[in-house]
Amino acid sequence: MACACGNNACSCKTPETIHLMDEAGIVHPFYIADKVEISGKQYAFAVGLEEVEQYALLRVNTGDDGKPVYENIDDEAEWAAIQDYLANVQ
């Protein structure tokens, strides 16, 4: 497996791995490639380990146990804010 930085061998730490279920109920492994804070909320970019074309943008909240909880983004206004932010990142 390549590192999150895209290299097979590097000094990066091992990326966090999560499992996401698709519409057909099949679970796929992803790694967290990057995280960003937008308007006080945390988001994570996840990339599929099986196929590079698999990716997700998820909201990150903290669970009762202090661990990250990854959630789908269903709110259109939230998506618009994310798109505005990403359009202005250079």
pLDDT tens across 40-73, in order?
999 999 999 987 688 899 999 999 999 999 999 9
For residue 51, the model assigns a pLDDT of 79
Q: Give the DSSP per-residue string, the chain.
A: ---TTS-SS-SPPPPPEEEEE-TTS-EEEEEEEEEEEETTEEEEEEEESS-TT-EEEEEEEE-TTSSEEEE----HHHHHHHHHHHHT--
Instruction: In whole angstroms, give the CA distance from residue 60 to residue 36.
Output: 10
Asked whether residue 12 carries a pLDDT value surpassing 60, the answer given is yes
With 0-12 / 13-18 / 19 or more C-beta atoms within 10 angstroms meaning exposed / middle / buried, residue 43 is buried
Q: pLDDT band for position 25 (50/70/90)?
A: very high
1 band by pLDDT with thresholds 50, 70 and 90: very low
Res. 86 pLDDT band, cuts 50 70 90 = confident
